[in-house]
Amino acid sequence: MIKVKVVGCGGYGGVGIVELLLRHPHVKIQTLVAATETGMLMSDLYPHLKGFCDLRIHKPDEPAAQEPADVVFFSTPDGVGMVQAPAELAKGARVIDYSGDFRFNNTADYAEYARRIGRDPVHKAPELLPQTVYGLPELNRQNYAKDQRLVGNVGCFAMSCLLGLAPAAAAKLIDFRSVICDCKTGVSGAGKKATPIHHYPARYENMQAYRLSGHQHVMEIERMLGQLADEAVPVTFTAQVLPICRGIMACLYGTLRDGITREQVWAAYADYHRANSFVRLYDSKTAIGTANVRGSNFCDLVVDVDERTRRLRVISHIDNLVKGQAGNALQNMNLICGFPENTGLDFPGSYP
Ligand SMILES: NC(=O)c1ccc[n+]([C@@H]2O[C@H](COP(=O)([O-])OP(=O)(O)OC[C@H]3O[C@@H](n4cnc5c(N)ncnc54)[C@H](OP(=O)(O)O)[C@@H]3O)[C@@H](O)[C@H]2O)c1
């Protein structure tokens, strides 16, 4: 059995990975760590886990929190993993970090990312950046080292956009100067701690676009699409928050290149995602919404061609807390530990 530590267990991504790990056949949850909600049992904090996960939550500086593990998940805000991961790696653990700390391979890219979220641009563990991999198996599994020890899990909006646009970029279906990512997320995308703009009265019956320029996920999207297309792919990206709990719906658009047919679009999408069991393709006749992926690691793509305007239109649906966060982190654990990618993740979620 693989022994796992979850740092940040009290937040949404922490409880999410605990829920998933409980069904994993090769994992024992050994250590739970949080910052302020400590000393209590996980099942006191999350009563739905009573009888399933009754472990005590430790402070980061307690000896119990330092116990070596085989895999450590950092479900923590930006800046925590880069300080604590070196010690875990030195003890022999594999580390999967949910934040932007390890999504970039060099200090310059990290500095630009940090600037966008208002953080110190100086990375605290720059020696680790060449060792990390961008944790998006569907696009990047060929770039994981044989003994990959450090993974930067993907941003949730980036996940929805990249799974939806990768086939179009790789097969050069669209004019790369015409890409629009129009993305809606549920309120859980901001994490567990309520702020004035995230609590109920501010969100009820309210839809809102935010951070119109300089959103940090645009960097990830443009970098990966650029690699697939072998040329720059600038995207117009609009993040919006809707009064739902979980789910991302990304409406993705690009002008089709001359001569590209609907059949070629479908062939390119089917071909690209053939090996990606968590990506399901639909035509526009099937009614798909975020409820179809709720609680699951699936990404449901509605692939459509607007013949009248000659535009590709892809509607990408994920659960931001599963394929956009904890589920993808577990998929990454499976990949770097040698298990089939869908181990512990092969279930359809809950509808409605
Ligand atoms: N929410 C999403 O949809 C989503 C999607 C993709 C990626 N992400 C990323 O995933 C990470 C976690 O997000 P979240 O939404 O789960 O946040 P969250 O609900 O706010 O949870 C964060 C957790 O980190 C803990 N923590 C903070 N500082 C810590 C430290 N120094 N040592 C140990 N634990 C510490 C907090 O503990 P206390 O509560 O005890 O203070 C809390 O349990 C973030 O980097 C976020 O950007 C989020």
Nearest to 160 by CA among 76, 247, 81: 247
Ligand 1 pocket, CB under 6 A: 7-8, 10-14, 33-37, 60, 75-78, 80, 98-99, 155-156, 188-189, 191-193, 320-321, 324-325
Cα of 174 vs centre of ligand 1, distance in Å, is 37
Looking at residue 213, what is its pLDDT?
87
Nearest to 92 by CA among 147, 136, 18: 147
Token pair for 320? 């931001």
Nearest to 71 by CA among 20, 125, 127: 20
Architecture of domain 2-131: 3-Layer(aba) Sandwich (3.40)
Looking at residue 231, what is its pLDDT?
97
Q: Could you state, in order of their start, the residue ranges of all structural domains in the chain? A: 2-131, 157-320
Q: How far is CA 77 from CA 104, 235, 244, 278, in A?
A: 16, 26, 22, 26
Cα of 11 vs centre of ligand 1, distance in Å, is 5
Q: Counting atoms of ligand 1 from 1, which one is nearest the CA of 186?
A: 3
How large is the average pLDDT for residues 239-243?
Answer: 97
Query: Which residues are CB-contacts of 265 (< 8 A; sequence separation ≥ 6)?
Result: 168, 173, 256, 303, 305, 312
Cα of 164 vs centre of ligand 1, distance in Å, is 26
Pick from 9, 36, 40, 76 the residue to mutate for probing ligand 1's pocket: most ligand atoms within 8 Å of its CB: 76
CATH number of 157-320: 3.30.360.10
Nearest to 247 by CA among 183, 164, 309: 183
Cα of 333 vs centre of ligand 1, distance in Å, is 18
Task: List, for residues 118-160, the tens digit of each pLDDT value.
Answer: 999 999 999 999 999 999 999 999 999 999 999 999 999 999 9
Give the active site residues. Answer: 156
Distance of CA 68 to the CA centre of its chain: 26
Q: Which position has the token pair 């390119």?
A: 268
Q: Whose CA is nearest to atom 17 of ligand 1?
A: 191
Q: How far is CA 344 from CA 24, 271, 332, in A?
A: 4, 26, 12
Task: List, for residues 49-107, the tens digit of each pLDDT value.
Answer: 999 999 999 999 999 999 999 999 999 999 999 999 999 999 999 999 999 999 999 99
Please tell me whether the overall predicted TM-score, pTM, comes out greater than 0.95 for this model: yes
Specify the DSSP element, H or E, that contains 280: strand 279-282
